[in-house]
């Protein structure tokens, strides 16, 4: 299991008087709050009605009783895990966790003792599931940390299966432990030797005390009003100071998600002049696009937009499925279009306020609040909400009443490209229910890809396509289930290059080498795009192209053969590589535009979905390595 990561302060407290979550030590009512111990990083958020219904449905399936009573506010805390896991906080207590288990492909509720007491206290065990009753003599051993041994069990739900979550009771009906079954309930009843339940949580019996419900999120907003005001004031000051310092046209990057919505609202409260920017990656939820349209009307600000359309599906055969390690889709569908928006609308670049928060990831926690975007030329990024948790964001949204994306109410905790490899498998399963046609398109492609690569349907079903190198826990799942994870070919696309002669001394001095793509090359397309200029100064005659940079020279033949020469092996190798990559770019370019922002001489344009390098190119090669075709193709 993933280890907890501290990205910021753990801020969740609870006011016992108001029975609402508070993001500090003092409630607005004047009462001192109680700190709630949650697992880091502590990016807490409100549970919507779908979340509550989902938790109760899983609880009913496992224990035949709902965990969460009506009329109580629920806070969820995303905890580190192999897929999606959230701690469930009600009335200031962590009742348990709900997580999606990749091996079982289902959600599982893991109750802690407070949750187990709410499930079982006062209930007839005959109407419940997942319970084990101990012999009174075994109770003290369990409280000292021992597992539940089968000979110490006097009664159990006979339907318990191995690995089921189980609640352990005393003969008097008190809950003292919860954990995972290590044998079937029927075997426990026969008192077979061995561990019956591996306990995860244990403690002395406590009386159940459920506070009165009826609170609303408006009550939580009021309880946090002074805290919110401080955060808002700091954000306003930050926005105004950065604007005065950077002195570029101001834009707000709006994605249709909650964080960018909060940034937009904050900016609207302290700035008059700014534009919105939105990139339709072609992989947005329809509801996201609808939300963007609603937001544009509400704020009445100019919007600079670009649509990637079918760029992902037109590129996926060349690059293969995107992965956590190689998210080529982000460059093709998002960063490229953003670069084009800035190049076309802001001659000297722009300042963009972005909804980035440190509680989201280690990389973002280490990021500066103001930074120069390494992928998008002429853009300075700034985050006014760097120190906000998701709860700050939601309370602020509830307070201001701005319209948020409805997908949050349908079980998705993050809004972005719906097939992002960084998404949890749980979200992809939910997609089957909310957008079955979109999920089918992805699944059909993955199944066809798996068949070509000699991989199984289970490789697709368990979401293993999302990694090039599986995390240890996921690799163990694949091993246990006998899922082959090694494709018969790791080559993506059909443009393969190999140095055929090696690097060798040349009679004219220096080193030379010969290589081949193995297929005929479209020299006319290569010339039209000007891509060879990235490597050096090109020239063309019938059936042959040549390129030179200082003492390095190469010839490219229409047959697919390349010969290159340099002063030494290092020089020849580097030059050959740049020529090969430039040819690859020319033939496989999708016009994403990432290279446009990297050119120091502003000589790259996009025409007919191709990057065109103009004659003012200085052959620096800055655009080569950043190209998705080079990195992922």
Question: Are both 202 and 271 inside the same structural domain?
Answer: no
Q: Which tens digits make up the pLDDT trace of 429-469?
A: 999 999 999 999 999 999 999 998 889 999 999 999 999 88
- Overall number of domains in the chain: 5
Residue 127 is part of a domain; what is its CATH number? 2.30.130.10
Last residue of a domain, one of 157, 174, 207: 207
Question: Are both 329 and 405 inside the same structural domain?
Answer: yes
Question: Are both 89 and 232 inside the same structural domain?
Answer: no
Residue 601 is part of a domain; what is its CATH number? 3.30.70.20
Q: Are 320 and 492 a contacting pair, CB within 8 Å?
A: yes
> Distances in Å between the alpha carbon of 334 and those of 256, 284, 327, 352, 525?
14, 11, 11, 15, 26
Question: Are both 295 and 335 inside the same structural domain?
Answer: yes
* 419 within some domain: no
Question: Are both 164 and 241 inside the same structural domain?
Answer: no
* 304 within some domain: yes
Give the range of the structural domain holding residue 202, as residue numbers without chain letter.
Answer: 122-207
Q: Are 205 and 175 a contacting pair, CB within 8 Å?
A: yes
Q: Which tens digits make up the pLDDT trace of 580-623?
A: 899 989 888 888 888 888 888 889 998 888 899 999 999 999 88
Q: Which tens digits make up the pLDDT trace of 110-151?
A: 999 999 999 999 899 999 999 999 999 999 999 998 999 999
Q: Which tens digits make up the pLDDT trace of 539-563?
A: 988 778 889 988 888 888 887 888 8
* 129 within some domain: yes
Residues, the chain, total? 633
pLDDT at 51 over 70: yes
Question: Are both 251 and 333 inside the same structural domain?
Answer: yes
Question: Are both 538 and 433 inside the same structural domain?
Answer: no
Last residue of a domain, one of 356, 377, 410: 410
Residue 315 is part of a domain; what is its CATH number? 3.40.50.620
**pLDDT: which is higher, 320 or 417:** 417
Residue 104 is part of a domain; what is its CATH number? 3.10.450
Confidence of residue 367 (pLDDT cuts 50, 70, 90): low
- pLDDT value of position 375: 72
First-to-final CA distance of the chain: 33
Question: Are both 242 and 347 inside the same structural domain?
Answer: yes
Question: Are both 115 and 137 inside the same structural domain?
Answer: no
Last residue of a domain, one of 481, 508, 524: 481
* 505 within some domain: yes
* 286 within some domain: yes
What is the rounded distance in angstroms from the CA atom of residue 106 to the CA atom of residue 62? Answer: 12
Question: Are both 172 and 154 inside the same structural domain?
Answer: yes
Other CB atoms within a 10 A radius of the CB of residue 11 amount to: 23
Which pTM value belongs to this model? 0.86
pLDDT, the chain, mean: 90
Question: Are both 32 and 168 inside the same structural domain?
Answer: no
* 217 within some domain: no
* 369 within some domain: yes
- pLDDT value of position 372: 87
Confidence of residue 46 (pLDDT cuts 50, 70, 90): very high
Q: Which of 260-264, 350-354, 566-570, 573-577 has the lowest mean pLDDT?
A: 566-570
Question: Are both 473 and 517 inside the same structural domain?
Answer: no
Other CB atoms within a 10 A radius of the CB of residue 33 amount to: 23
């Amino acid at each position: 299991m993933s280890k907890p990561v501290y990205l910021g302060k753990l801020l969740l407290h609870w006011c016992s008087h108001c029975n609402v979550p508070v993001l500090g030590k003092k409630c607005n009512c004047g009462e001192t709050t109680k700190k709630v111990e949650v697992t880091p990083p502590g990016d807490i958020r409100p549970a919507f009605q779908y979340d509550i219904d989902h938790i109760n449905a899983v609880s009913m399936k496992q224990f035949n009783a709902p965990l969460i009573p009506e009329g109580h506010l629920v806070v969820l805390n995303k905890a580190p895990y192999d897929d999606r896991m959230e701690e469930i906080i009600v009335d200031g207590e962590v009742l348990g966790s709900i997580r999606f288990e990749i091996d079982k492909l289902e959600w599982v509720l893991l109750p802690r003792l407070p949750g187990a007491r709410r499930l079982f206290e006062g209930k007839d065990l005959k109407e419940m599931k997942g319970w084990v009753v101990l012999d009174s003599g075994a109770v003290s051993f369990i409280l000292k940390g021992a597992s539940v041994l089968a000979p110490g069990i006097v009664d159990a739900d006979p339907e318990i299966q191995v690995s089921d979550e189980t609640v352990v009771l005393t003969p008097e009906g008190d809950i003292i432990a919860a954990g995972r079954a290590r044998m079937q309930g029927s075997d426990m009843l026969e008192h077979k030797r061995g561990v019956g339940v591996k306990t995860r949580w244990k403690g002395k019996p406590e009386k159940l005390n459920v506070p009165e419900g009826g609170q609303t999120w408006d009550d939580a907003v009021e309880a946090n009003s002074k805290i919110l005001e401080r955060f808002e004031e700091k954000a306003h000051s930050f926005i105004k100071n950065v604007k005065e310092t950077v002195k570029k046209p101001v834009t707000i990057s709006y994605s249709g998600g909650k964080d960018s919505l909060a940034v937009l609202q904050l900016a609207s409260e302290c700035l008059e002049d700014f534009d919105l920017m939105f990139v339709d990656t072609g992989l947005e939820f329809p509801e996201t696009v609808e939300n963007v349209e609603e937001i544009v009307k509400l704020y009445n600000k100019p919007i600079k937009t670009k649509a990637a359309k079918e760029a992902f599906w037109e590129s996926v055969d060349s690059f293969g499925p995107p992965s956590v390690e190689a998210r080529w889709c982000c460059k093709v569908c998002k960063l490229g279009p953003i670069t084009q928006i800035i190049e076309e609308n802001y001659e000297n670049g722009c300042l963009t306020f972005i909804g980035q928060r440190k509680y989201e990831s280690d990389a973002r926690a280490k990021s500066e609040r103001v930074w120069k975007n390494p992928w998008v030329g002429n853009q300075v990024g700034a985050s006014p909400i760097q120190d906000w948790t998701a709860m700050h964001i939601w309370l602020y949204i509830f307070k201001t009443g701005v319209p948020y994306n409805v997908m949050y109410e349908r079980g998705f905790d993050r809004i972005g490209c719906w097939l992002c490899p960084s998404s949890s498998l749980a979200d992809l399963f939910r997609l089957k229910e909310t957008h079955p046609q979109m999920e089918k398109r992805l699944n059909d492609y993955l199944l066809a890809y798996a068949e070509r690569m000699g991989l199984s349907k289970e490789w697709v079903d368990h979401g293993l396509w999302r990694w090039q190198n599986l995390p240890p826990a996921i690799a163990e799942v694949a091993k246990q289930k006998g899922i082959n994870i090694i494709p018969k070919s790791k080559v993506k696309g059909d443009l393969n290059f190999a140095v055929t002669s090696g690097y060798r001394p040349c009679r004219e001095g220096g080193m030379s080498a010969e290589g081949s793509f193995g297929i005929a090359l479209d020299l006319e397309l290569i010339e039209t795009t000007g891509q060879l200029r990235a490597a050096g100064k090109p020239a063309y005659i019938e059936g042959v192209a040549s390129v030179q940079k200082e003492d390095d020279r190469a010839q490219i033949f229409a047959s697919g053969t390349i010969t290159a020469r340099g002063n030494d092996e290092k020089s020849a190798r580097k030059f050959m590589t740049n020529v090969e990559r430039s040819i690859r770019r020319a033939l496989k370019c999708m016009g994403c535009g990432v290279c446009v922002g990297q050119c120091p001489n502003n000589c790259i344009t996009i025409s007919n979905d191709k990057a065109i390098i103009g004659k003012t190119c200085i052959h620096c090669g800055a655009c080569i390595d950043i190209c998705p075709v080079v990195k992922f193709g």
